[in-house]
Structure 1
């Protein structure tokens, strides 16, 4: 049966496909044979349709038959017949095959295929509906589960999946040291055969060339352990095989980046992993050594391995070529010499009949030569010698000749100088001591031919210098002389004054000095009457002060009408500082709620503006005490009393345990709070004078003098030199100690230092010292007769004097102050 039946020469029915196969006949001699038309299609009789142009002629175009019938055209006519499907005659179900997937054509046959993972075996796998019996034909088919068993072995690889059922895929991974060729090796369990697909591929060992060189580094090769997988490779081959490591280490004097390790691996592509980031930098020795008495190196001096730095020794220290240090492999600066030692010329050479005094034996030290009296200088090209850089003293140009007459006659309070007038003629010149003047006799004597001293031809027995004296000190207004019981005032004697009660000192120290011309120095001070002025006003109060406004005067405050005194005090007193005392005084109207005077707190003073509700009282601890909680009390809005949360309290500063000082024993007195003391004694000299430390108001221990105790003899320089108008601090007096100086207020100059050198002498580096600041010209005041001044620099005083008939209405003294103003 076939659509377009007239075109079919012969028809066969494909049992598996259940379709009509269209054939045609080709003549070949006297025989006929049928061949499959390569241009024909297998026709499914249930789904074919006819082109509209053929419907009228052949029929079946619109499928007039039922779903259970098959439409078949009638040959050569436009007609069709409906043929019932065969399956309608088989009432039972087709045979059931375990693990199969039957395919029913809906007409007359069932084809059996096995489910996934199972393969088919047997001779018949299609069951047809028998029209005669109405039953399904039997089949000879079995579906068995596929199992390909153990996958094939690949040398040098391991498999990743051990499943052996149908469609299972096993992937092979090559062991370290080899790569798969091709890129991935797999086998598949074939469901149709139950066999693994052919194994195609292998594992190839990868090797690299020699690793790249890295600057300033050495490399060591380390292999992976591959002997068991690749027994044919030698240990030398393994050093370059895949996975081998090239470990780089920096050579001596160089270091890697902090925390880094440099390892390159032989990769799968036969190349070593990158080494561009492997950097070996020279070790850095850091800042060159700080050598005492040397000059620092240049700012941009290199400090890495192998670099040299030269520190020049300061002038006066050796070696003259300086010190050279090299940065070594360990990152340390090393040198053959590591200190600058002071140059030393030794003791200066001796000169006959002369004494020599010198301030040291280091560079530029000066040796001064003076003839031993009675000897005089015959030749004096140079009476000094200097220690030079070659550690030798410069030549001395002085010759001393003894005076034939010997020592000149002695005279009280005089100094004598010997002078050579000619080859055999000498004289002795006398001068009086400071504070004395020549009274009688000749100031000069001559050595005569008899080698005796004479004055104008007469032998001299005695000279005399009498003492210079000043008259009694002058009277100073409102001052009394402290030294009134002294009758004799010699040069530099001092007269001290004290201001009388009710006056205060203005200006400099209250003293006068006896000068060389037997007169008293100008007074740069005066005593002024203490006057506190008008007492400060108190709101709602009147003040009266019948006793004036001088020291001790009392100002009495009286509340105005309708106001009541709520404080305990109602008066203030003029103090010796010229200020009224500051007791709390307040007058309030009736009905105003208040707290009265705030309660006293030990070791504290209190200040407040008012005592009404909500007011605050501020407490200030005395020097050496501190607040442990609050410093404020408040006048409560509830109870009309002073309250503080937490409590107001002043406790003494606590310095803690005293510091330990090497080689000393200490004894603590009265605790560790403000004002307590501790005594230190040298351990090896328990009876030595004690050095004390006191607990200061800042809460720290302060020594009254440096403490140094040495069991072995140590070179010390003693106390550092005093520099006028400066403050000096130092920690020790041993060699290399440093004393620091800074100028006092009112004086200018850069800070400077003194260094204790090995010879036990302080080397003071004082460029210009401390000079007083200047206040400029003295201010001009009208109607002034004269102005006397000590100086126009800091501390200088200008004293103004009125002409006769005039009195001072303001201060008569002006002082040059720190701010350079009078």
Structure 2
């Protein structure tokens, strides 16, 4: 068969003999139009139709808003995008139709061109925008006027139409001058003018005024008036003239009896202070008063002063207690005196005596008759408050120790000074000792303490008599007994203790068992606690049973409590512990 031609932009396989099959292909970006295969036939012709390779198409591109696209739509074609005036492209300006039937790049857009951002005028404002075709409008704040273009438009060449405006302040009318003062400069919106007054004057009204947006001034027109000084006080006991404004002069005077100390005249100055020194009215003096004996005078010596006289404690005033310094520089009243106060008269205690005295400081001393002891204060002193120190004493009969009742006997009577005690024995017993004993002034008993002994002694009579004879001064009693088998018991007087056999028995051989006992003062068992010496006083020694301690006070002090205290059989002291108190 005749040789086949290779299609432009394509290829084919070899062959041209009967039966050969030739296959056609196209290059990338081309497509085959005709038979893909052709076969050499017996009649020397090829089957099919001779193919050719044509460019493949790309899909139609979308139009771009506010722009245009050049022609082209097949493989290898390059299209170009263009934006309308005032717009600029964003994306690929050119796109190529590719072998795979797609366009290179991406779809571009046309957006408005940008002008520079316009500045906001001082004291004004503008609308927002800066793209092609946008219109910006300018306005001024109240009190300001626009100078320049009200509107400016963003043009295709990215420049603005018109002239950039500014805001200029509006003026206010001129202010009138203030009398006795001045005004600072200023006359446009926002200006603040200040008023000042001349020295010695102060402003009343608005000290500052502002030029407002409506071209009027704020506030009201002030005035300058004279400054005021503080109102001066009227001096005590004086007077002054009126006035307290700049330039005013005030004159001071004092009442009779007072003298002006300070400035007579004071003037209100420009700095609102007063000239001179604030005066006062000082009182005129009276002559010094004489002192009062045994007293004192309160301070004072000028007109109107009232002095008070006071007497020392224990003294009372006779005369004027208060005196006043008068306008004529003399004292009212007369000079008083201070005399000793009197206490009420004290009574003499029954069975006693006292010394004389009843004026402040007098000391009265009390004593009792023999056989009586003082209960209360030995000394009492007349005090400043018209009362006596201490306690009113009385004289009570001294007491003797209570006598024991003899075994197998009885006794009658008391134990106070002068009391007589009578002893008796029961039937069958004989009294050995004093029948009567009298309490004496020295608080001891007359006679000898008796006991009752059996009238018949069958055993040891001589020993018993010896016992009674030898120890009647100390033995309280011996129990009855004197017959065979009897047991006698020895008892000592209070404050004494036994040494030897306390019990003895009458034996068959008519002798007593044991040995003869003795009674001695208890020591140290039968002692009293040592008494304290009173402050500002003294006492005698002693702390054994029967010892009597006597208390005394130093000069200027008096005894409160018992003068004498005796150590008793029960180890305690009689009476009350005394103390020495100041007279």
Same fold (TM over 0.5): no
Higher relative contact order (CA 8 A, sep 6+): 2
Larger Rg: 2
